[in-house]
Amino acid sequence: MKRTRIKRPLTGWLCCIPGQHKGHVMRKLLMSMLLAAGVGLLATPAAAQQTLKAVKTRGHLLCGVNPGLPGFALKGTDGQWQGFDVDYCRALAAAIFNDPKRVEFKPFNAEERFGALQSGGIDVLSRNTTWTLTRDTRYGFHFGPILFYDGQGLMMATELGFKLGGAGARLVAQPKSLHSFQDAKICVLAQTTSERNLEEFFRSHGLRYTPVRFQVTKDMFVAYDRGSCDVVTSDVSQLLAQKTTLKTPSDHVILGTLLSKEPLAPMVRHRDDQWFDIIKWVAFGLIQAEEYGISADNLDSLLTTQDPALRQFLGLDGELGSGLGLSADFMVRVIRHVGHYGDIFARHLRPLDLERGPNALWNAGGLLFAPPFR
What's the pLDDT score for residue 29? 42
DSSP string, 84-131: HHHHHHHHHHHHHHS-TT-EEEEE--TTTHHHHHHTTS-SEE-SS-B-
Residue 192 is predicted with a pLDDT of 87
Share of the chain above pLDDT 90, in %: 61
Q: What's residue 37's pLDDT?
A: 39
> Positive or negative CA dihedral for 355, 361, 362, 363?
negative
More confident: 172 or 68? 68
Domains by residue range for the chain, with CATH: 51-149+264-364 (3.40.190.10), 152-260 (3.40.190.10)
Cβ neighbour number for residue 11 with a 10 Å cutoff:
10
Query: Cα separation of 265 and 127, whole Å?
Result: 8
Instruction: Report the amino acid identity of residue 269.
Output: R
Q: If pLDDT is split at 50, 70 and 90, which confidence band does 35 have?
A: very low
Q: What CA–CA distance (Å, rounded) separates 287 from 360?
A: 10
DSSP-based three-state secondary structure for 320: helix
Question: Closest Cα to residue 266, out of 52, 59, 50, 65?
Answer: 65
- Given a cut of 80, is residue 174 above it in pLDDT? no
pLDDT category of residue 131 using cuts at 50, 70 and 90 = very high
pLDDT for residue 183: 86
Average pLDDT over residues 334-350: 97
Please say if the pLDDT value at position 121 is more than 80: yes
- pLDDT, residue 5, reads 44
Q: What pLDDT, on a 0 to 100 scale, did the predictor assign at position 91?
A: 98
Quote the pLDDT of residue 285.
Answer: 98
Using the 8-state DSSP alphabet, how is residue 251 labeled?
A: G
Contact between 104 and 62 (Cβ < 8 Å): yes
- What is the structure's pLDDT at 159? 73
Assess whether pLDDT exceeds 70 at residue 33: no
Burial of 353 (C-beta count, 10 Å sphere; 0-12/13-18/19+): exposed
Q: What is the pLDDT of residue 355?
A: 87
- Among 41-45, 98-102, 368-372, name the one with the lowest average pLDDT: 41-45
- Sign of the Cα pseudo-torsion (331, 333, 338, 343, in order): positive
What would the pLDDT profile of 250-260 be if each residue is shown by its tens digit?
A: 899 888 778 99
pLDDT at 360 (0 to 100): 97
